[in-house]
Amino acid sequence: MKVGLLTADLTHAHGWAHYSLSLLLALRDAGADVTVIAARSSPDVAGLTVHRLLPTLVPAERGLLLAQARAVPAVRAALRGCDVVHAAVEPFAPAAAWSAAGRPLLVTAHGSYVGLLAGRRGLAGALYRRALRQATLVCVSQFTAQNVTAALPGARTTVIPNGIDPARFDHLPPLAAPKRGPTVLAVGAVKPRKGTLELVRALAVVRQTIPDAQGVIIGTLDAEPGYAAQVRAEIAALGLADSVHLLGHVPEETLLAWYGAADVFALPALNVGGRFEGFGLAYLEASAAGLPVIGTTGCGAEDAVVDGVTGLLVPQSQVTDALPGAIIALLSDPARAARMGAAGRQRARAQTWARAAQRMLALYRTTALDRDRRP
């Protein structure tokens, strides 16, 4: 079987790209024959032939749909001989549908984007709805699947969760300098959906009980600059300049060092403006590093965190009151935190990209077989 995969840029710079590259490498390692159609911004990947034919997604090119339409003749030519066509990111669903030409079509649904794209008005919305209804939608979490079905009643969905590379967490490097106290780590772009302001405010409350508690927030500060400025102002207003640290985007070694050094991972994801955390891969990575994790209900974190076992889930509607208490509970009880971290490590390390690739290959075969059986 030969698979045509339409992807974002093949990097680890953002969620779509990380998923695309991780899945592709796992499919290759599983022996899959994959033709890769990537965004024009994608770099080379050793050992792979990458056809850079699609528009850039991050930041999104203007006229994204028109750019996809212009690329279709070249995409179709590159996909000649493929048995299945899979758009690994939702915005490329139209290009995949236009290029599939009757072949089985899959689209990965990462979170809120199916609803946002299908809900667009005019021709753009109609094109996205048609493409998405034509596809089997591979959802990264049960929560995402529920929201996809709500946005597109009758849509064909299946759930294949994101994964991790366990070897990445086997030998975590040390910090360049010792940490300054019990540390709460957050990893994710500084924007409202990640609940960064809520975490900063919670840390101010935590320090009333644990005065030397520290917060380390890793993730781009450029996603929503106005919000990042608001977060900086809140840190200053709360007198947290020496205890809450916005590190921005950091090298891999620095990220892994903080995964190894922190005591608790907390990402109070919020549903904002129709957007929600589809899975929250950072929760799984933190678990793989042995950290107890704190997330929120009402989003994909429910799939990544087993409440009371690998960490704690607090209701989004009660984040202001519940988040400080959850952090204090874990920082104040190292034995409980260690048990949760160990349980999370065991669970996360069974949820690998290799396993996701095997499930994806089985789905490819099933969809191709279903097509062949049609009269």
Question: 166-189, pLDDT tens digit by residue?
Answer: 999 999 999 999 999 999 999 999
Reported confidence tier of residue 372, pLDDT bands at 50, 70, 90: low
Nearest 10 degrees: Cα torsion 113, 72, 80, 48? -60
Residue type, 96: A
| CB contact at 8 A, 186 and 202 | no
Residue 111's pLDDT is 87
Both tokens of 273, joined, read 């403006």
Mean pLDDT of 243-269: 97
Give the confidence band of 369 by pLDDT, cuts at 50, 70, 90. Answer: confident
Q: 42-56, 221-235, 351-365: lowest mean pLDDT where?
A: 42-56
The predicted pLDDT at position 164 comes to: 93
Question: Quick one: pLDDT at residue 257?
Answer: 98
Determine phi and psi for 31, rounding to 5 degrees: 90, 10
pLDDT at 65: 95
pLDDT by residue (tens digit) across 259-310? 999 999 999 999 998 889 988 899 999 999 999 999 999 999 999 999 999 9
Residue 203: pLDDT over 80: yes
Q: Provide, rounded to the nearest whole percent, the portion of the chain with pLDDT above 90.
A: 89
H-state helical runs in the chain: 15-29, 64-78, 93-100, 113-118, 122-134, 142-151, 196-209, 225-237, 252-261, 281-288, 301-304, 319-331, 334-348, 353-373
Find out whether 262 and 184 touch, Cβ atoms under 8 Å.
Answer: yes
- pLDDT over 90 at 85, yes or no: yes
The two three-digit tokens of residue 174, written as one number: 């040390």
- For the segment 26-35, the average pLDDT, to the nearest whole number, is 95
pLDDT in tens, 95-109: 999 999 999 999 999
What is the average pLDDT across 317-339? 97
Provide the 8-state DSSP code for 74.
H
User: Which domains can be identified in the chain, with CATH numbers?
Assistant: 2-163+352-373 (3.40.50.2000), 166-348 (3.40.50.2000)
Q: Where do runs of H (alpha helix) occur along 275-318?
A: 281-288, 301-304
User: Would you state the pLDDT for residue 373?
Assistant: 53
- Give the Cα-Cα-Cα angle 94, 97, 98 (nearest 5 degrees): 85
Q: What pLDDT sits at residue 371? A: 63
What does pLDDT average to over the chain?
94
